[in-house]
Structure formats: structure tokens, C-alpha cells
Amino acid sequence: MPVGTQATVKGVMQRDLAGELDAKIILANTYHLFLRPGHELIRGLGGLHRFMSWPRAILTDSGGFQVFSLSDLRKITDDGVLFRSHLNGDAHLFTPESTVDVQFALGSDIMMPLDECIEYPASHEAAHQAMRRTVAWARSAYHHYQRHIEESASDTALFPIVQGSMYRDLRRECACQLVELNAPGYAVGGVSVGEPRSLSLEMTEATVEFLPRHRPRYVMGVGMPEELPEYVARGVDMMDCVLPSRNARNGYLFTSEGPVVIKQARYRDDASPVDPNCSCYTCVTYSRAYLRHLYQAGEILFSSLATLHNLRYYLDIMRQIRQAIVQGTFRTYLHGVRNRALE
Ligand SMILES: [Zn+2]
């Protein structure tokens, strides 16, 4: 899922997201939209889909992760999180119920409950406490969501989030308790918080085995291109990551031949496309030399063209994976990716 934190995938028009990139679902962020422009304003303008002119699916993150990483003076109690806006210092309280209400106001297709995403590394005791709170909040959020769904006939989904830091026993305990909610899908949170990448994969594996196979399983905030098939191999259906879009803006382009760091002098007069195996608008239209020039000159077009390419690269990988699964060749595909990584 491309990440559209502020109701926009930075530098990409919705026309290109749906057309050129054919993204089926994007992610938006409850914390940011709650603070600015406000969920009631968005509700008044017909919900997030109409507000941002995006007719396809939207998943909204509950804001827990941003509260813990961005806001000042946060105070966590069993009731919720009291925090100060990173924009103007105003005090706000997020509770399991209030974040569900905000996401209903936005009109999300898939909403996430408030969770406590703990930093890495964390002691077993601290991780256990955060995990227990996450389960309690998920239950409150889920029951609140169910009451609302019954009243409104909405078909929004809510995916509880498994926490447990880097401890297998906590991951298992959290997953097993959340599965009792019989939710339409589940998420693995608390990975990609600074731990080694192999550990993110290991914790995902230790979590996913306890989640129902016939429901979507979503790992939050991963990964590098070569990791995508590794997550899929472990039973993951959905992922989101800011890497393709953020790296694009920083001049780091993912290609089938390895990364292209566009500011390097070697691309100064390079007439070839960013990725000769890519058929995105950027690659079929422009040279590395032109893109390097735009980057060096600080031109805003660079961000748009680079983001378009990087997102296309990620989405093409997912399309290849889906095709391999349908054709029964995923194992071969995975071995090919692993062998290339070793080269
Ligand atoms: Zn391209």
C-alpha cells in the first residue's frame, strides 16, 4: 500500500495512483488528519474518499504509532493516551473508542485500533505490559466498532494489531487473545522500529502462524523490495511502507539492477532510463541525466517522477508475486529473488 499520510501520496496525483500505478488501496493517517484538517471537517465534506477524490480503498492507521513517535508530553494510562499536538501543542486524548469514531468519520475501509507500539529494545516486562494494554484496547475498540457497524450498516473492517516486541511468547499470547475477537483481518505491529531486519521477519513469522489463514494478514511498516516476497512466503497479504516514496524524494531509486542514487556524477550524461526493465512513465520518457539535473536543481518535478517510478517498482513486485502464486510458481520466484540477493 502506498502511504498517503496527509490524504496525499506525496508528489503523486490520484489520477496516476489509480491509472499508471493501479494502486487498489492506500494508507492514510488518523493522527495527522485528526489534527489537521480535522475529522469532522472531512466528514462534513463527504468523508475522506470524496475529500481527496480517491474512489478506491483506504486503510487508516489508528494514530498510536504517531502519538508515540511524534507528539510531546504523552501520558499513557489504561484509558488511552493523553498527548500534545506536534503542530501547536494542544492537548488531546485518544481512547480506543475515540480513534474508532475518528476513523468512522473519515470513512475508512479498513481501520486500526489504538495500540501501544513500544520502542526497541524493550524489556520483557515493559513489552508484556504494552501487549496487555494493546489487547485490552483492541477489545474495547472492537466492541465499539461492532456496535457502530450494527447501527450504521457500514461494511468497514477493523484489524486488531498484534504487539509483543521481539518476544515470541508475547507475540503468541497477543495473537491468540486477539483471534478470539473473530475480526475480519489482523495486523502485525511493532516491527520495523529499529530492530535488525532479520528480526522483523522472525517476529512476523512467530506471529502469523497464530492468525487465521483465511483472513488478511497485514504487516505494518515493511519493507525493502527484496523482503516483500519473504513476507509473502510467511503468509503475509498486505504491507505498507514509506520507503519507496520517501527514498524517491531523497534521490534513491529502486531498480531491477540495484539502487540508483541519482545525485552521483556517473549519471551526469547517462542517456539511459532509470530502470531499463520498467515501463513506468518516468522510465519510458526521461533519462537518468535529466532526472539527475532536476534533482540537482531542486526542481519539484523530480519528486513526482521519482515517486512514480519507485511506487511502480514496488507495486510491480507485488503483481509478479500474485501472478506467481496463481501460476503455482511462487517457490521458484522466491528462490530467484534469494539467489539475486546473494550475488
Ligand atoms: Zn520506472
Q: Which residues of the chain have pLDDT under 50?
A: none
Catalytic site residue 61? yes
d(CA 256, CA 260) in angstroms, rounded, equals 10
d(CA 121, CA 229) in angstroms, rounded, equals 26
Q: Is this prediction's pTM over 0.85? A: yes
DSSP 77-112: ETTEEEEE-TTT--EEEE-HHHHHHHHHHHT-SEE-
Maximum Cα–Cα distance across the chain: 62
**Distance between Cα 265 and ligand 1 center (Å):** 20
pLDDT value for 163: 97
pLDDT value for 216: 98
| The one catalytic residue among 61, 115, 275, 316 | 61
Catalytic site residue 101? no
Q: How far apart are the first and last CA of the chain?
A: 29
- For the stretch 124-150, pLDDT in tens is 999 999 999 999 999 999 999 999 999
d(CA 194, CA 160) in angstroms, rounded, equals 22
**Distance between Cα 10 and ligand 1 center (Å):** 17
* 3-state DSSP assignment of residue 2: coil
Measured in whole angstroms, the distance separating CA 16 from the mean position of its chain's CA atoms is 19
DSSP category for residue 184: S
217 and 175 in contact (C-beta within 8 Å)?
A: no
DSSP category for residue 270: -
